[in-house]
């Protein structure tokens, strides 16, 4: 039995992707047709070992995707055929994975596929929002405008992530330097003090005993200790990737943490409003737009809320009255959406909401270092205080005994 990845459309024209097992391509195609689906593409999934995957692993930076959308919009607006535009962009890009992807896209379009039908075959490169905005642009005949809007959205997301990463550099450097200094002391100074304390005898305080234990664990059993730490980290990452309830639990904790919880909420609201507004302005229906936004939302708390809202809107409810039931959305959001739904300008209102929360995120990221300073001082203070008490305590006791 082989596994085949397929792209199909149903009687309504809705395009979906998936995978199915079969003896050969014909069997899988017949099975899909029996289900009322029309195959667009059907490719056998190649098995590869980890070494091949590592060799072929290349990341496409978000900045590259922004340039791709902008340049493709310009070329389409200038009247260049899509397949030719993709070939031009393929020659210009230096990113190996993007170059290969554009080559496949160009061949697909030359073979008769629409751009959106080809994009959907590469979910690791193009998000569902990307694909559906392109599809909406193709249907409405405004592909260049849809790509331009998409480029603006991707650019804002890229700028947002870059600002958060930039703001985190200083605290991260301080924390790493402090941990490195602690490890150095554990491997060099503490073992010498431990010998001295053992020679003098007497009962050591619990803090000193724990410090010596950590030092011995790092110096005598370093390989085992670091292997255990690596296993814990890998186990955490595995659980985060494969266990929904664990990922949901972590995401709930993040929303409750000082500083980062507030930042996470505002980032998710800004992305929700911007993505939904862009999809609606491209002509995608409200329920479908909500479903697409939910699929692209990484925080599971917000993802579940948007999915439930999409289900209720499908049954005739409004967005505003549904998201008002979720405390993760501030009162301002459902109120603004209600105005947009009443006036028929929901896409415009959502974009204004996105701009407002983008500014809020900018304010937080600009002051992130200042906001994190008290937390950093507490962490450093606890670490330094622990070291001082553990070292000075036994020495003070021995001084009193003399």
Burial group, residue 147, by CB count within 10 angstroms (0-12, 13-18, 19+): buried
- The secondary structure of 173-196 as a DSSP string is HHHHHHHHHHHHHHHHHHHHHHHH
Burial group, residue 121, by CB count within 10 angstroms (0-12, 13-18, 19+): buried
Rounded Cα distance, 102 and 99, in Å:
5
Per-residue confidence (pLDDT) for residue 51, from 0 to 100: 42
Burial group, residue 184, by CB count within 10 angstroms (0-12, 13-18, 19+): exposed
Fold assignment, 2-55: Ubiquitin-like (UB roll) (3.10.20)
- Listing from the earlier edge strand, what are the strands of the sheet with 2-9? 15-22, 2-9, 38-44
Distance from the first to the final alpha carbon of the chain:
81
* Extents of the domains making up the chain: 2-55, 61-155, 260-366
Rounded Cα distance, 65 and 182, in Å:
42
Quote the pTM value: 0.69
Per-residue confidence (pLDDT) for residue 182, from 0 to 100: 84
Rounded Cα distance, 23 and 34, in Å:
16
The 8 Å CB, 24+ separation contacts for 139-146 are: 139/283, 140/282, 140/283, 142/282, 143/73, 143/76, 143/82, 143/115, 144/73, 144/74, 144/76, 144/77, 145/73, 146/282
> CA separation (Å) from 393 to 173, 208, 216, 388?
30, 8, 19, 8
Per-residue confidence (pLDDT) for residue 161, from 0 to 100: 77
Token readout for 12 is 């309504």
SS3 377: helix
* Cα angle 288-291-296, degrees, rounded to a multiple of 5: 130
Per-residue confidence (pLDDT) for residue 23, from 0 to 100: 67
> Nearest CA to 286 among 258, 306, 302, 263?
306
Fold assignment, 260-366: Receptor-associated Protein (1.20.81)
Task: Indicate if 260-366 has the same CATH topology as 61-155.
Answer: yes
Rounded Cα distance, 5 and 44, in Å:
6
Burial group, residue 330, by CB count within 10 angstroms (0-12, 13-18, 19+): middle
Q: 């870059």: which residue's tokens?
A: 162
- The secondary structure of 215-229 as a DSSP string is HHHHHTSHHHHHHHH
What is the CATH number that goes with domain 61-155?
A: 1.20.81.30
- Mean pLDDT, 10 residues at a time, over the chain (402 residues)? 68 66 70 73 57 50 82 86 88 85 87 83 80 80 81 80 78 84 84 78 78 83 85 92 90 88 90 86 84 85 91 88 90 91 90 88 79 79 83 71 55
């Amino acid at each position: 039995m082989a596994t085949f990845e397929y792209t199909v459309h149903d009687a309504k024209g809705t395009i979906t992707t998936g995978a199915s097992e079969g003896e050969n391509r014909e069997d899988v195609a017949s099975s899909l047709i029996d289900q009322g689906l029309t195959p667009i593409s059907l490719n056998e999934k190649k098995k590869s070992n980890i070494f091949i995957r590592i060799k072929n692993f290349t990341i496409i930076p978000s900045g590259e995707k922004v340039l791709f959308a902008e340049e493709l919009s310009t070329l389409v607006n200038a009247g260049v055929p899509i397949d030719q535009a993709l070939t031009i962009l393929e020659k210009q890009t230096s990113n190996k994975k993007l170059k290969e992807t554009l080559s496949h896209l160009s061949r697909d379009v030359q073979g008769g596929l629409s751009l959106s039908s080809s994009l959907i075959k590469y979910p690791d490169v193009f998000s569902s929002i990307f694909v559906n905005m392109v599809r909406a642009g193709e249907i409405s005949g405004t592909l260049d405008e849809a790509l331009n809007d998409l480029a603006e959205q991707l650019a804002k997301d890229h700028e947002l992530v870059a600002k958060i990463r930039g703001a985190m550099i200083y605290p991260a450097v301080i924390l790493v330097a402090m941990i490195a200094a602690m490890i150095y002391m554990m491997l060099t100074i503490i073992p010498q003090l431990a010998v001295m304390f053992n020679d003098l005898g007497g009962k050591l305080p619990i803090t000193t005993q724990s410090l010596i234990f950590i030092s011995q664990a790092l110096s005598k059993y370093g390989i085992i200790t670091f292997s255990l730490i690596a296993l814990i980290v890998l186990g955490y990452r595995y659980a985060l990737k494969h266990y929904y309830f664990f990922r949901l639990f972590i995401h709930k904790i993040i929303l409750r943490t000082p500083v980062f919880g507030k930042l996470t909420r505002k980032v998710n609201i800004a992305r929700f409003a911007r993505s939904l507004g862009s999809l609606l302005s491209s002509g995608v229906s409200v329920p479908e737009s909500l479903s697409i936004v939910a699929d692209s939302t990484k925080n599971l708390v917000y993802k579940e809320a948007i999915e439930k809202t999409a289900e209720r809107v499908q049954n005739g409810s409004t967005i505003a009255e549904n998201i008002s039931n979720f405390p993760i959305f501030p009162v301002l959001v459902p109120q603004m959406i209600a105005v947009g739904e009443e006036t028929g300008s929901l896409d415009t209102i959502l974009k204004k909401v996105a701009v407002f929360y983008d500014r809020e995120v900018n304010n937080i990221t600009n002051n992130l270092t200042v906001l994190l300073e008290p937390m950093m001082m507490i962490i450093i203070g606890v670490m330094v205080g622990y070291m001082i008490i553990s070292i000075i305590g036994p020495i003070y006791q021995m001084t009193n005994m003399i």
